[in-house]
Amino acid sequence: MKKIVLAFAGTVSVIVLLFGYDTSTAGPMATTSQTSVISGGATTAPSGSDSSGSDSSGSDSSGNASSGSDSSGSGSTGASQSSTVTGDVAQTRWGPVQVELTLDGDTISDVSVVQYPNGNGKDQEINSYALPILVQETIDAQSSDIDMVSGATVTSVGYQQSLQSAIDQAST
């Protein structure tokens, strides 16, 4: 009987230790100002880093992280009004994700990822691949009903949360 109790206690201890072990070595690195902004499928890299293979057309490097919406007239025929809406910050286990939409009337014309996890090399590698895909999916779908990117599930979920927040703000 004593051996059974000891085996049971040992098993419970191992299970508790396994579920209690924090696998993250870097932890979420919440930063308020980002060095890069992903926009319309383009990446603007910080100085000193390699940005080969990225298309810099349509890139927005303003880094504006204000929430709410800003509207400006189109200036020509007045047919459609262009506006910018910044979604709420979605806190993920690897860091914050925030999306900014540029709308022409009711059409999503551009998406900028204002904040995203980039605290270590692995985050930068994953997000340099995943964010342009998420941006293009958003422009193609014209909604937050987009597929997640395999290998970037946490960032994809945060992106969708912030995107839906921006869409909700734009519809009010």
117 or 42: which leads in pLDDT: 117
Residues 58, 60: Cα–Cα separation, whole Å: 7
State the pTM of this model. 0.57
pLDDT band at 41 (very low <50, low <70, confident <90, very high): very low
pLDDT value at residue 4: 92
CA distance 134 to 128: 11
Please name which of 81, 96, 99, 95 lies closest in space to residue 165, comparing C-alpha atoms: 99
Query: Residues of the chain with pLDDT > 90: what percent?
Result: 31
First to last CA, the chain: 67
Q: Cβ(14)–Cβ(7) under 8 Å?
A: no
Give CATH for domain 36-46+67-172.
3.90.1010
Distance in angstroms (rounded) separating the CA atoms of residues 130 and 160:
13
| Interatomic CA distance for residues 119 and 101, integer angstroms | 24
